Amino acid sequence: MSGDAAALDLRAVGFWPQGRSRDDALVSDVSFAVRPGERLAIVGPNGAGKTTLIRMVAGLASPSEGEILVGGVPLSTMGFAERAQRIAYVGQSDEPDGRLTVINYVALGCIPHARLFAGDSGIDRAGEALEVASLSDLADRRLDQLSGGERQRAKIARAMCQRPSLLVLDEPTNHLDPQARGEQLSLVSSLGIPVVAALHDLTLIDAFADRVAVLADGRLRAFGPPGETLSTARVRDVFGVDLHRLKHPEHDYHLPTLDIPVPRPASPFTASIRN
What is the domain extent for residue 131?
A: 8-274
| Domain assignment of residue 1, yes or no | no
**pTM (global) more than 0.95:** no
Give the per-residue SS3 of the chain: CCCCCCCEEEEEEEECCCCCCHHHCCEEEEEEEECCCCEEEEECCCCCCHHHHHHHHCCCCCCCEEEEEECCEEHHHCCHHHHHHHEEEECCCCCCCCCCEHHHHHHHHHHHHHHHHCCCCCHHHHHHHHHHCCCHHHCCCEHHHCCHHHHHHHHHHHHHHCCCCEEEEECCCCCCCHHHHHHHHHHHHCCCCCEEEECCCHHHHHHHCCEEEEEECCEEEEEECHHHHCCHHHHHHHHCCEEEEEECCCCCCEEEEEECCCCCCCCHHHHHHHC
| Domain assignment of residue 2, yes or no | no
Residue-wise pLDDT tens for the chain (275 aa)? Answer: 445 689 999 999 999 999 888 999 999 999 999 999 999 999 999 999 999 999 999 999 999 999 999 999 999 999 988 999 899 999 877 777 878 899 999 999 888 776 655 555 578 889 999 999 999 999 999 999 999 889 999 999 999 998 999 999 999 988 889 998 999 999 999 999 999 999 999 999 999 999 999 999 999 999 999 999 999 999 999 999 999 999 989 888 888 999 988 887 766 666 566 65
Query: How high is the pLDDT of residue 11?
Result: 97
Domain count, the chain: 1
Query: How high is the pLDDT of residue 273?
Result: 60
CATH assignment of the domain containing 28: 3.40.50.300
| Domain assignment of residue 3, yes or no | no
| Domain assignment of residue 221, yes or no | yes
